[in-house]
Structure 1
Amino acid sequence: MSVNSDAIFVNGNRPTPLDRAAQAFCEICSRTDAPTLNGRTLGHGLPPRPISVRELVELLPLLQPVARDVVWRELVRLVRTSGEPWPTIAVGLALPGLRTAAARLVRDYSGDPEDLDSELVTAFYEALAGADIDGPMVCAKLRATAYNQVRRMRYSAMAYAARTRDLDSLSEPSLIPARDGHPDFVLASAVNAGVITREEAELIGASRLERTSLSAVAQRLGLPVTTAWCRRKSAEARLTAWIKEDKSSS
């Protein structure tokens, strides 16, 4: 049995974090030694034999809810006790629901959708590692935990963007101190003045001026997306105040 990658991988000009998660999952499924679950031990109507993860893609939607929860509890147990590749497998099996959640999160969102996608994958990993899985609908509970975490971040990001619109127009001459003349020089001057760090300047310059996705910049700097977002938010607040103070004194 093979995995229909078209069902979980969306081709595009630039793969999203969810696309990359799907790609990693497909690579695991294509291995000749793809991991398996012990259906005999799990019971609940599951085939009494080793069940490969590639087979789970088609099998899970056909199972009764109780059996699906048994499978997901076993997946979570393996994530927490054995590590990779089980987190990647769990994300891959949850992709249809995660894509639906991602589509809801990016609706009317003015920022980079890839940031939310990346944060959703990260939040799902965190839910796998620590969320309460007692009770029914285990996968839905994990997904809801991740969704709600990113929804709170989305709300905070949009509210913050509304308060710092100056940064979206950083390249406009009216917002740049006269002595600098170019947004890159503004960032360099802010670093020299001790307003922001070099790493923070890189975060702002790459994601705001060069329009590189925050998740890509975070990966380049070796930072989790959440950390990069928080650091950029703090740095932008200091930079905005510094620019406004410089303008008022010139």
Structure 2
Amino acid sequence: MSGRDHASYPGSRVLLPLDTARQCFTYLVTGPEPLSVDGRAFSGLPNRPVPLDELRDRMLRRRFPRHTRDAVWAHLVQRSRTEGATWTLACTGMALPALAGIARRLAARYPGDAFDAHAEVLSGFLTALADIDLRRPRVLVRLRWAAYRSGGAALAEALDAPPPIAPDSFRSTPPKPPWGHPDLVLARAVRLGVLTRTEADLIGSTRLDEDSLADWAAAHQMSAEAAYKARKRAEHRLIDFVRERVRDTDPGDPVAYSVTVNSSPDASPQTPAPSRSVTAVGGGGRGDTAEKPSVRVSKTGSKSGLLRCGGSPPPALDPSSSEVPRCA
């Protein structure tokens, strides 16, 4: 048993979903005929059947060729779709190091049972396994993000629930907004009506994932220029939303700090930029001031954009090209 994919907790007697997946994967790769792939079909692998546990160890090495990793994952996912349960479990076992890390981080903040956090992470992974695009690179990275989104959405919902009242006390305070990860910021913005689901998907896919703006626009039957403008407007509202609510977050929160302090390279530290509400209240609103906020999301500088990875937009966006530099 490898410690890297072990997802339970010291002293816990509850078998968590990822522990069950780990045990089942162990059964698949033990015995005289372990579940294997033909190494001759992939460059960088031995010319023999390679058991999946050995294959996973090889693919975790930093020097393992990325194109081979993508080819292997496309092969595994395709077999899961065509052959069913055994290869679906094989895919889960191959992804356990990533899934276990996500589950541990989310469960550490989860106010309920850790079992639920693990179940949501696994559910997000299995859902993406059925429909993820195998023609695009970084298959495992995109599967991991799907698992994180599912677990993060469950965590945000749990944190939004009113805390239980102790029998001997009536004191209760609402939980602080979980600004710690951009996906949670987007989920909260959608729930509060700051963004639509489509706008959140646009920002998440083109800023956090591997999608280019042109690809996203084509998939949603709109022009790349229209998608760029829609993202620009949505990010303006999102920054206003984060700045209005930053007083409720941790002082050391990296997302809130980046948006409120460092989002404008020309902002003076002695004179903070004026804050705007997302919606006008009581007839005042944006008409009360002629100043525009200093925070800009349009790609006019090297540090522009919500995630500070912008650049100047092309004069005419070509749908076949990607104008969004990768953030990570």
Bin of the TM-score, shorter chain as denominator length: 0.5 to 0.7
Tell me how far apart the structure 2 counterparts of residues 106 and 9 of structure 1 sit (CA, whole Å): 14
Tell me how far apart the structure 2 counterparts of residues 38 and 158 of structure 1 sit (CA, whole Å): 46
> Which residue of the partner structure matches residue 32 of structure 1?
32
> Which residue of the partner structure matches residue 134 of structure 1?
135
> Which residue of the partner structure matches residue 78 of structure 2?
77
Contact 2:29/2:53 (<8 A) preserved = yes
Tell me how far apart the structure 2 counterparts of residues 38 and 112 of structure 1 sit (CA, whole Å): 41
Percent of pairs identical after alignment?
A: 32
Name the structure where helix makes up a greater proportion of residues.
Answer: 1
Contact 1:133/1:141 (<8 A) preserved = no
TM-score, reference length from structure 2: 0.46
One-letter amino acid of the counterpart of residue 53, structure 2: R
> Which residue of the partner structure matches residue 154 of structure 1?
155
Pairs within 5 Å for 1:1-250:
4-9=1-6, 12-41=12-41, 43-62=42-61, 63-159=64-160, 161-162=161-162, 165=163, 168-169=164-165
Tell me how far apart the structure 1 counterparts of residues 27 and 167 of structure 2 sit (CA, whole Å): 43
User: Displacement, 1:58?
Assistant: 1.9
Relative to 1, partners in 2 of residues 1:107 and 1:5: Cα closer, same or farther, differing over 3 Å? closer
> Which residue of the partner structure matches residue 197 of structure 2?
none
Contact 2:123/2:150 (<8 A) preserved = no
SS in 2 for 1:37: strand
TM-score, reference length from structure 1: 0.59
* CA distances 1:201-250 after superposition (whole Å, capped 9, x unpaired): xxxxxxxxxxxxxxxxxxxxxxxxxxxxxxxxxxxxxxxxxxxxxxxxxx
Tell me how far apart the structure 1 counterparts of residues 109 and 77 of structure 2 sit (CA, whole Å): 33
User: Displacement, 1:10?
Assistant: 5.2
Number of equivalenced pairs? 164
- What do you get for the CA RMSD once the two structures are aligned? 2.3
For CA contacts below 8 A with separation 6 or more, give which structure has more relative contact order: 1
* CA distances 1:145-188 after superposition (whole Å, capped 9, x unpaired): 121122122212321x22xx4xx45989x9xxxxxxxxxxxxxx
User: Displacement, 1:9?
Assistant: 3.2
User: Displacement, 1:134?
Assistant: 3.1
Tell me how far apart the structure 2 counterparts of residues 10 and 130 of structure 1 sit (CA, whole Å): 26
Tell me how far apart the structure 1 counterparts of residues 7 and 156 of structure 2 sit (CA, whole Å): 27
Relative to 1, partners in 2 of residues 1:146 and 1:55: Cα closer, same or farther, differing over 3 Å? same
Please, which runs of 5 or more residues in structure 2 have no aligned partner? 171-328
User: Displacement, 1:6?
Assistant: 4.2
Tell me how far apart the structure 2 counterparts of residues 101 and 22 of structure 1 sit (CA, whole Å): 15
